[in-house]
Amino acid sequence: MSPHSPLNTALTTDRGFTLGDGLFETILWADGALHLLDLHLQRLEKGCEALSLPAPDPQACLDAAHKAIKDAGLTSTRAAVRLNWSAGPGGRGLDRPASPTPWISATAAPAPRPVTPARLVTASVRRNEGSPASRLKTLSYLDAVLARHEAMAAGADEALMLNNRDEVCCAAAANLLWLHRGVLHTPRRSCGVLDGTIRRVLVDSDIRVDKVVARLPDLRNIQGLWLSNALIGLRPVSNLDGWALPLPELPGDVTALVRAVCPD
């Protein structure tokens, strides 16, 4: 796309593009259905409250998602649907127009479940515990991009992110869960952690999940570490900063619960 393209104006006056002013969701399409749709749409609505944006019509989200799957020819494939809710057109500067007109868009892409454990390295880029954006999926996702880039450059698959207080937060694109003394642990949201859908399913279930403030040394004696998100479900971590981690089975009830909402 060149600066002289007719697409230029629409793009370069959209606040989603110019300022990262907007939200997104990444939803699993599998077995011919969108999974955890209610959680995704609730989170999007809460994000709109935090950003003072009008929330999208749930039916418009659904229509855009289904159209994206169909247009990409993925109706019978395991796919990721990305919904974008941009703050919409805007003038110069930071201030939104008096009546912002956000708009929905969606794309879909194949999303096979990763089959190997992940290797993690701790990124130098930190989560911003002092911004509500660190607890949301926003169109300002550069910190996660930089963290992932750093991890890949170090030969790993994914980044572990700390906040500015050196507290363990999450991966660049997943929550963290670990087993310690037989109990599941996950960082508190106040550390600067996304309210991930799989994390939420576990926290809201009868399974015990301790929400904790942890630092890197606390991960040295754990029984196992997993990444979680709507696309991968739970993915074991084999290595953190060159330190080999045990790869145990998860308790059967955890596995069953996550498999039900995140099928192959």
According to CB under 8 A, which residues from 73 to 132 bind a copy of itself?
A: 80, 82, 84, 86, 88-89, 91-96, 103-107, 109, 111, 125-132
Span of 16-24, 175-183, 193-201, 253-261 interacting with a copy of itself by CB under 8 A: 16-24
Cβ proximity to a copy of itself, 48 vs 257, nearer residue: 48
The number of helix segments (H) and strand segments (E) in the chain equals 7, 13
Residue pair 15/140 in contact (Cβ under 8 Å)? The answer is no
Dihedral angle sign, alpha carbons of residues 113, 118, 123, 126 = positive
Q: How far is the CB of 76 from a copy of itself (least distance, A)?
A: 18
Span of 29-37, 165-173, 199-207, 239-247 interacting with a copy of itself by CB under 8 A: 165-173
Q: How far is the CB of 44 from a copy of itself (least distance, A)?
A: 15
Cβ proximity to a copy of itself, 120 vs 254, nearer residue: 120
Q: How far is the CB of 232 from a copy of itself (least distance, A)?
A: 11
Site string for a copy of itself, 216-235 (x = CB under 8 A): --------------------
Q: Which residue has the tokens 């050196």?
A: 166
**Token output for 143:** 């910190």
Side-chain-facing half-sphere of 259: CA atoms under 13 Å: 8
Under rule CB under 8 A, residue 148 binds a copy of itself? yes
Cβ proximity to a copy of itself, 67 vs 208, nearer residue: 67
Buried b (16+ CB within 10 A) or exposed e, 231-245: bbbbbbbbbbeeeeb
DSSP for 107-147 reads EEEE-PPP-S-EEEEE-SSPB-TTSGGGGS-BS--HHHHHH
| Residues in region 18-47 near a copy of itself by CB under 8 A | 18-21, 24
DSSP state of 225: E
Cβ proximity to a copy of itself, 80 vs 193, nearer residue: 80
Cβ proximity to a copy of itself, 42 vs 105, nearer residue: 105
